[in-house]
Amino acid sequence: MIASHFDVSALLALAAALSWTMAALVGHRPARELGSLHFNRLRMLAAIVILTTMLLIRGGSFSVDISLVTPLVLSALVGVVMGDFFLFATMRRMGPRRTNILFATNAPIAACLGWLVLGETLRFQTLLAVALGFLGVVMAIIYGKRRDQAHVWEMVTPPLWVGIAFGLLAALGQALGVLLVRPVMEQGIDPVMAGLVRVMVAAVVFWASYPFDRTQARKPLFPDRSVMLLVGLNGFFGLGAGAALFLAALEFGSVATVTILSATSPVLILPFVWAKTRIMPAAGAWVGAILVIACSAVLML
């Protein structure tokens, strides 16, 4: 039974990583054109429709135990509102490949938080993992682009440190969100319903900022159909299928297994970047992505 649960959680975590990879690929254009704030407003609406439809098709329950509401709300505020805002702010500045690398650092960030906040012992493995993660990020960002690669996915908007800071804040939000939602998933809540609650909370926050968003004052509320299609696909892969698969993986497997396998997006995205740009990613991109995944693996030893 334990082995079967491990197999299920592993497959779900890998499926979540692939889904998030697809979300990153289709999210680059709307993130650049709409800005992170408005893009997230629209993708939350898309995700609500998608998750509600998924619940109806599966015949799932729309009820949530009152004791689970607070941790779900808190995980939504830090994991979805903070995490996704900075995730797509990073996407606008650094493209999907570098963004995925930075976002995958949520594992060592969670370990450091355990040391700083919870007083956990700082093991040698933790220090090694942080070093590997740092080296991987440096390799992927600084040495991860070929000189003949001028595709928009590989463009970096200066200054570089701003994009890196945004990416690390996105990873911080993800790490905190996982820590908060893990106890909720252990209670057996429907992963789709948990995702729906988190998305609805985030939607309220993002749309509450709309009247104060000066950048949207003279722009239409909804973009053209091609951009809206990409927003919908991003909502499906990122907040719909991806989030549901990830939460389901947490229900069956350990945080260690799920974190490691769901952090494989930096490698999974490279073949897609290669196919889109028609140029093989530089050696630094491959080495950096592998080091970031190794960072998560070492962390869980």
Q: Is residue 167 part of a domain?
A: yes
Which amino acid appears at position 13 of this protein?
A
- Whether 231 maps to a domain, the answer reads yes
pLDDT tens string 204-214: 999 999 999 98
**Residue 123 covered by a domain:** no
**Sign of the C-alpha dihedral computed for residues 32, 37, 43 and 47 taken in this order:** positive
Write out the DSSP string of 222-242: S--HHHHHHHHHHIIIIIIII
pLDDT in tens, 19-30: 999 999 999 999
Q: At 129, which helix (H) or strand (E)?
A: helix 124-142
CA pair distance 139, 291, nearest whole angstrom: 9
Amino acid identity at 201: V
In a domain, 117, yes or no: no
Average pLDDT over residues 221-242: 91
| 144 found inside a domain | no
Cα 164 to the center of its chain, rounded Å: 15
Is 247 within a domain?
Answer: yes
In a domain, 225, yes or no: yes
Count Cβ atoms below 10 Å from residue 38 Cβ, excluding itself.
23
Instruction: Flag whether 119 is in a domain.
Output: no
Total domains present in the chain: 1
Higher pLDDT, 250 or 67: 67
CB atoms near residue 18 (< 10 Å): 19
pLDDT band at 257 (very low <50, low <70, confident <90, very high): low
Exposure pattern of 165-174 as b/e (b: 16+ CB <10 Å)? ebbbbbbbbb
Q: Which domain holds residue 35?
A: 2-107+155-267
Mean pLDDT of the residues in the chain: 84
Top-confidence residue, 179 or 63: 63
* Cα–Cα dist 248/9, whole Å: 8
Token pair of 277 as six digits = 């740009």
| Separation between Cα atoms, residue 105 and residue 98, nearest integer Å | 12
Q: What is the pLDDT of residue 1?
A: 44
